[in-house]
Structure 1
Amino acid sequence: MTAYNCLSDLELLDLVKSDNESAFAEIYERYFGVLYLHAYHRLHDQDEAKDLIQELFTYLWSTRRVLEPKTNFSNYLYTWVRNRVLNVIAHKQVQEKYLSTLPPLDSSVESLTDHRLRERQLAAIIEREVALLPPKMREVFMMSRKANLSYKDIGAQLNLSEQTVRSHVKNALKILKARLGILFYLFIIFYK
């Protein structure tokens, strides 16, 4: 069994090139903390710093077979992080400059738009779940909820007993409650 923590960076890199995940894990353990601190010190955002370092390790793994650092490996990693941090900062500056040129938004319009977007998303989720119901149950359920027909009217149209219609609607609600979880209660409000 190889003691990966005793190997040099270049030895680990050679093993990583041959798809050795344990060697990669050692590089990750060796450098994640210090690279994270390096990125965080410049970005002052924990999530952004973690994302950047995760991106680095994803990049390292995906390019492992062709990876040939021109300097020593730690310098290569620090340089990669520094360049990415500079890119992030430059992007933020461009973004801030652009946003400062936009006219201020009316917050009531923004919240109304946000509310409508969430309502459409909720409706799409509900429609998708209703579409997954068994055909007859879906038909009965839609007639009950969308067309607002009584159980008696639905039964007459589909040649079903009122009790069968009631059972279809009850079972549909039970299935939807299980699938939608907390969204089910919003569904009740939405489909009233």
Structure 2
Amino acid sequence: MNYKAYTDEALLRLIKEHDDHLAYSMIFERYNALIYSHVYNKLRNEFEAEDTVQEIFSQFWIKRNEIDLTYKFPGFLFLLARNKVIDHVRKKKLSNITEEFYSSNLYTKTYSTDFLIREKQLEALIAHEISLLPPKMRQAFELRYKNYLSIRQISEEMGISEATAATHMKKALKTLRLKLKIAIFIVFLANILGSN
């Protein structure tokens, strides 16, 4: 079956109605560079743009049943891209606020030996939470964030489809974000209370 000869509409129909991974891979091949260029133009950071694009295509697969076949493509992808970029910028602003706190005099004054111990405990907790991920999910996560492999490279390394690799990554990140938000809040709160 020559997917390269298929129109976008035909590929989208296969994705939506038959969960066709090869059709998804063809859409990825056609639009990856275009979406990356669009996202990079907004973020101006190669690593952040690559991560965001992977999230966009992962979201595209997850939302495949919501695709409106009468809607002009790649409008659907650009809509996902717009939302992901906005979400990324919001998270980055929040991260910058956190960094400002940690680099401020207030943080320096309260950066006690006790807090350093808590920080080590937090690092151990992060490693522990990663170890608790299901094996395939953990492997995909470590290949991405320890070996810096792309989704395509991860799929080749693990012998799975790009869609499956992207799904593993999304689930791993969702799980860890929830766990680590709680852990970071506890460490932050303990530091504030310890300084009073």
TM-score, normalised via structure 1 length: 0.52
Taking structure 1 as reference, are residues 117 and 36 closer, same or farther at Cα in structure 2, changes over 3 Å only?
same
Superimposed CA distance per residue, residues 1-24 of structure 1 (whole angstroms, 9 cap, x where no aligned partner): x21111111100011121111111
Superimposed CA distance per residue, residues 59-91 of structure 1 (whole angstroms, 9 cap, x where no aligned partner): 222222332266311122122212321232234
Counterpart of 1:8 in structure 2: which amino acid?
A: T
Look up the match of 1:76.
76
Look up the match of 1:87.
87
Look up the match of 1:160.
none
Look up the match of 1:6.
5
Question: Between the two proteins, what is the percent identity of the paired residues?
Answer: 27
Question: 1:85-164, aligned counterparts within 5 Å?
Answer: 85-96=85-96, 103-104=104-105, 105-106=107-108, 109=111, 113-114=115-116, 117-118=119-120, 121=124
Give distance in 2, aligned partners of 1:60 and 1:79: 10
Taking structure 1 as reference, are residues 83 and 66 closer, same or farther at Cα in structure 2, changes over 3 Å only?
closer
Look up the match of 2:39.
39
Look up the match of 2:22.
22
Structure with bigger gyration radius: 1
8 A Cα contact 1:28 1:57, kept in partner = yes
Unaligned stretches of 5+ in structure 2?
A: 129-196
8 A Cα contact 1:70 1:76, kept in partner = no
CA deviation after TM superposition for structure 1 residue 118, in Å? 2.9
CA deviation after TM superposition for structure 1 residue 106, in Å? 1.2
Look up the match of 2:66.
66
8 A Cα contact 1:69 1:76, kept in partner = no
Q: Count residues in correspondence.
A: 123
Instruction: Give the secondary structure class of the aligned counterpart of 1:71.
Output: coil
Give distance in 1, aligned partners of 2:120 and 2:7: 52
Q: Note the aligned Cα RMSD (angstroms).
A: 3.3
CA deviation after TM superposition for structure 1 residue 96, in Å? 3.7
> Structure 1 stretch 45-54 or stretch 61-70: which is displaced more?
61-70
Instruction: Give the secondary structure class of the aligned counterpart of 1:73.
Output: coil
Higher relative contact order by CA 8 Å / sep ≥ 6: 1 or 2? 2
Give distance in 2, aligned partners of 1:110 and 1:33: 47
